[in-house]
Amino acid sequence: MVLVIGRLDVVGDAVFFATHSAELVRVTNATDSLLRRNYEDSKVWIRCLTGMEREGTEVWGEEMVGFLKIGRMFRGFFVKTIGFVGYTIQYGCIAHCAFEYIGEFVSCSGPSMEPTITNHDVVFSERVSRNLCRIQKGDIVIAKSPFDPKMNICKRVIGLEGDKVCNSGPSDVFKTHTYVPRGHVWLEGDNLRNSTDSRSYGPVPYALIRGRVCLKLWPPQSFGVLAESPNDGRIL
Amino acid sequence: MAQTGFGRRYFKAFVSGFFVAVPVTVTVLDRLAYVARVEGASMQPSLNPAGETSPDVVLLNRWSVRNYQVQRGDIVSVLSPKDPRQKIIKRVIGIEGDFIKTLGYKNRYVRVPDGHLWIEGDHHGHSFDSNTFGPVSRGLVHGRASHIIWPPSRWQRIEPSVPPERRPLLNRDGATEDGYDD
């Protein structure tokens, strides 16, 4: 009996071995050969009940164990890394699609939307309305700031394109009105005294809107849908 | 039996492949690169010199504008301030702080506000650009046109260049643009 340890590739009826000198040796006379694979040890061995010959010489392969064990482990590690990277890319892309097209969680800071949204509140803003152009008057939206695209602002929509909005301050005697241009919206914070919004920087292009705030998630005592505008008369 | 088994396996492979391919493709188009056909004559002769008979197709690099950084002379695609579903492709003439002489805008001279850009089409007079609607916010930038990829005879890299007569009068550092060489 010959105990041969080596890499096993079964091709149809033929059984090939890779020896330490990287030659392929074919089992001949393997009428009683028994194949057994032991994957836990990363080791494959075949016990031939008859001899194994290559052009008349017998091949012994016990020294191959160390070298081939490392080769198989390295190959396994490489394959696992590729698999891990593939899964990361796939789940990262699914996460990107979810945040871009469904909704995202936003943590608001600042006093400009009190009492509806206070400092350090967490809200959920959905992207579907914005992508379908269905933002309406009275919605609270998250938008990119017109002066710094990396900052976001959270305000309420007071007027859509074509609407008449009041752009004079509360201290003015005569109220002045403007019309919101095409493709723009007029945003105002609920805390009129402490909010820089369209009253100072003018109408904001619709395409800067990121999403509509639909649900408040934190703090738990004010969980739920957000309230209507506390400022009557701003929405004409 | 074998036929139903094969159909089910095929269906499962199709569905699992679909759930991999669609998010990856969407993410690549949103974050890395986008291909778009140029319509209209507002960027002639740089883009679409043949007009509607043979429109150019450009490659828009979305990765380079992930921080909304553009420089003067870049051809960029922006979301139109007048119609949020439309994208327009124009050249950046001025960035924030530049002092620009306008062509047909309501003010003769404009200082580009912070966080805004001044964009113009190369074909003056046939272009719906900042001379009509004023400075555009940097948050509207969608991608930077880096290459023309169709038709094959017009395969080229697009280099940023500002036409000499449209350079800003004062750039944001206060320096004048005389003696500026390409």
Verify whether the Cβ–Cβ distance A96 to B79 is below 8 Å.
no
| Shortest Cα–Cα distance, A70 to chain B (Å) | 33
Verify whether the Cβ–Cβ distance B26 to A97 is below 8 Å.
yes
Identity of the residue in B24, B85, B138 whose CB atom sits nearest the CB atom of A89 = B24
Contacts of B81 in chain A (CB under 8 A): 183-184, 205, 207
Q: What is the pLDDT of residue B31?
A: 92
For the residues of A128-152, what is the DSSP string, one character each?
HHHHTT---TT-EEEEE-SS-TTSE
| Shortest Cα–Cα distance, A35 to chain B (Å) | 30
Q: Looking at residue B170, what DSSP letter applies?
A: B
Pair B73, B91: CB distance under 8 Å = yes
Verify whether the Cβ–Cβ distance B24 to A207 is below 8 Å.
no
Contacts of A133 in chain B (CB under 8 A): 84-85
| Shortest Cα–Cα distance, B102 to chain A (Å) | 21
Verify whether the Cβ–Cβ distance A208 to B138 is below 8 Å.
no
Q: Does A148 touch chain B (CB under 8 A)?
A: yes
Q: Looking at residue A13, what DSSP letter applies?
A: T
**Largest separation between any pair of C-alpha atoms in chain A:** 112
Q: Looking at residue B125, what DSSP letter applies?
A: T
Q: Which residue of A has its CA nearest to B27?
A: A93
Verify whether the Cβ–Cβ distance A147 to B82 is below 8 Å.
no
Instruction: Give the span between the Cα atoms of A193 and A170, in whole angstroms.
Output: 9
In tens, the pLDDT along B77-97 reads 999 999 999 999 999 999 999
Contacts of A181 in chain B (CB under 8 A): 82
Higher pLDDT, residue B109 or B172: B109
Q: CA angle, corner A33, sides to A29 and A34, nearest 5?
A: 170
Identity of the residue in A93, A182, A208 whose CB atom sits nearest the CB atom of B82 = A182
> Could you tell me the two tokens for A154?
């959270």
Regions of chain A short of the pLDDT cut 70: 1-74, 169-170
Q: Does A102 touch chain B (CB under 8 A)?
A: no
Q: What is the pLDDT of residue B4?
A: 64
Q: What is the pLDDT of residue A176?
A: 84
Pair A107, A120: CB distance under 8 Å = yes
| Shortest Cα–Cα distance, A207 to chain B (Å) | 5
Q: What is the pLDDT of residue B178?
A: 52
Where do we find the tokens 């003696």? B179
Q: What is the pLDDT of residue A76?
A: 77
Pair A46, A35: CB distance under 8 Å = yes
Where do we find the tokens 């400075």? B135
In tens, the pLDDT along A82-100 reads 989 988 998 999 999 999 9
Catalytic residues of B: 42, 90
Region B38-66: what's the mean pLDDT? 89
B71: number of CA atoms within 13 Å, CB side? Answer: 6
pTM (2 d.p.): 0.75
For the residues of A144-207, what is the DSSP string, one character each?
E-SS-TTSEEEEEEEE-TT-EEE-S-TT-SS--EEEPPTTEEEEE-SSGGG--SHHHH--EEGG
Percent of chain A surpassing pLDDT 70: 67
Verify whether the Cβ–Cβ distance B81 to A184 is below 8 Å.
yes
Verify whether the Cβ–Cβ distance A96 to B27 is below 8 Å.
yes
